[in-house]
Chains A and B, each alone.
Chain A
């Protein structure tokens, strides 16, 4: 397990902060590089053995400002009190047929179900794109998206698999769509940390709340017993941690 020592953590945060300053100076207060760096800082924090909830709250707020142009309400939970209901988000089949159907054969073999195939993934800074189907079916591509995609956006279906490719078997209906990253050693039975957002240019699940996404993730993956899970959606962030016994608050 790649557990952070304090010195390693401080070094990484310092390095990231230096880049944040440089990027702001060069490109201003809002740009994809800055988003990526704030996200990297958040993930570095998520890897620490001892969580700093105040810092996580501050960073998730910064990230929400970059991603969603919104303020962000942060909550920490160690259990879900009730089952939540979920909306479905759709993508029109005719749009898929007219623009993406030719690429389907390229990406279909790359679709994975569940998280098990990612055991051994220790790079928390790489992100996978995922959807959760209408009945909780988890689908993602087997390799993470390159950083260039995070920066440049996703405009070329020949090079990058879009979310609708994952949802073809569900008539393009999804309960959630976005990106995730995780750390999972080869020997542990559950991932150490899992981060998810709801960034999807095709589905734009803007009314999906972080607690809804957490519920979906927990109900669709049985391997997340003690995993730290951070969900960032629009105007809310939820940190789920079994060890976080002091924080009983639920987001609204």
Chain B
């Protein structure tokens, strides 16, 4: 089978599986990551200067 057809076949099988079976918790998380990585504008919320939501400032006193 040509590579392209094999690839399409795999994709179709994958989509069919998605339609039949609910996504696992990890699959759902990875899908969201994929969407953000693929997005042209991931948004200002994705702060690349920090590794976590520690970016929410400690209450100023």
Are B33 and A36 neighbours in the complex by a CB distance under 8 Å? yes
Q: Chain B nearest CB: distance from A161 CB in Å?
A: 13
Nearest residue (CB) in B for A43 is B26
In the complex, identify which listed stretch (A122-130, A214-222, A241-249) lies at the interface while the others stay far away.
A122-130
Are A153 and B25 neighbours in the complex by a CB distance under 8 Å? no
Cα of A152 to Cα of B44 in the assembled complex, Å: 8
The tally of CB-CB contacts under 8 A between chains A and B is 102
Q: CB within 8 A of B56: which of A28, A122, A125, A153?
A: A153
Are B50 and A32 neighbours in the complex by a CB distance under 8 Å? yes
**What are the 6 closest A-B residue pairs judged by CB atoms, nearest first?**
A201-B56, A152-B45, A66-B51, A123-B25, A153-B53, A31-B48
Residues of chain A within 8 A of B29, CB atoms compared: 36, 40, 125, 147
Chain A interface main SS type: helix
User: Number of contacting residues on B, CB 8 A?
Assistant: 27
Q: CB within 8 A of B46: which of A27, A122, A201?
A: A27
Interface residues of A in 107-141 (CB under 8 A from B): 122-126
Are B52 and A67 neighbours in the complex by a CB distance under 8 Å? yes
Counting CB contacts under 8 A, is B8 at the interface?
Answer: no
User: Could you say which interface size class chain A belongs to?
Assistant: 35 or more
Are A201 and B37 neighbours in the complex by a CB distance under 8 Å? no
Nearest residue (CB) in B for A34 is B51
Are B51 and A69 neighbours in the complex by a CB distance under 8 Å? yes
With A31-B46, A32-B47, A33-B46 already in contact, the answer to whether A149 and B26 are too (CB < 8 A) is no
Cα of A150 to Cα of B51 in the assembled complex, Å: 10
Q: Chain A nearest CB: distance from B44 CB in Å?
A: 9
Counting CB contacts under 8 A, is B21 at the interface?
Answer: no
Counting CB contacts under 8 A, is B55 at the interface?
Answer: yes
Counting CB contacts under 8 A, is A211 at the interface?
Answer: no
Residues of chain A within 8 A of B52, CB atoms compared: 32, 35, 66-67, 150, 199
Counting CB contacts under 8 A, is A95 at the interface?
Answer: yes
Are A23 and B26 neighbours in the complex by a CB distance under 8 Å? no
Residues of chain A within 8 A of B33, CB atoms compared: 19, 22-23, 33, 36-37
Are A149 and B53 neighbours in the complex by a CB distance under 8 Å? yes
Residues of chain B within 8 A of A67, CB atoms compared: 51-52, 54
